[in-house]
Amino acid sequence: MASRLMPSEQWKGIIAVSRGGLVPGALLARELGIRHVDTVCISSYDHDNQRELKVLKRAEGDGEGFIVIDDLVDTGGTAVAIREMYPKAHFVTIFAKPAGRPLVNDYVVDIPQDTWIEQPWDMGVVFVPPISGR
């Protein structure tokens, strides 16, 4: 994703959608050398159940010169809210499901609509013994 967003000088900063976009936002900021990182906090999931959108905090402005990043565009509910808040932003995600795909400017991976994604940063690390048992 970062290489597709070059040259980095065209961007004023990054707006990460909390919480899913926080880790990808930090990685993208590092790769592009961007230090201005802000957040928009939108609550739309309660672990695995989608519910009503609630804007808890927003970054200022209309998004001009900013990349907005989230981990996933699913049904498009959050993406529609992002587009309304930041109509001039470049909106990117890591994963895109068919229903939300038209709402983002770019994404990395297509996934089926009925697939649930467990992000590595949402899981605990546990030891898994080798299948051989040795």
- The per-residue pLDDT for range 65-97, each reduced to its tens digit, is 999 999 999 999 999 999 999 999 999 999 999
Answer yes or no: 106 catalytic: no
Q: What domains can be seen in the chain, in order of their start residue?
A: 2-122 (3.40.50.2020)
Answer yes or no: 48 catalytic: no
Which position among 46, 48, 62, 70 bears the catalytic label?
70
Q: How confident is the model at residue 130 (pLDDT cuts 50, 70, 90)?
A: confident
Q: What is the pLDDT at residue 118?
A: 84
Q: What is the pLDDT at residue 48?
A: 59
Bridge-based pairing of strands 49-57 and 90-96 is unpaired
Which position among 74, 106, 110, 122 bears the catalytic label?
74
Which position among 38, 46, 71, 114 bears the catalytic label?
71
Supply the mean pLDDT for the chain: 91
CA distance 117 to 37: 25
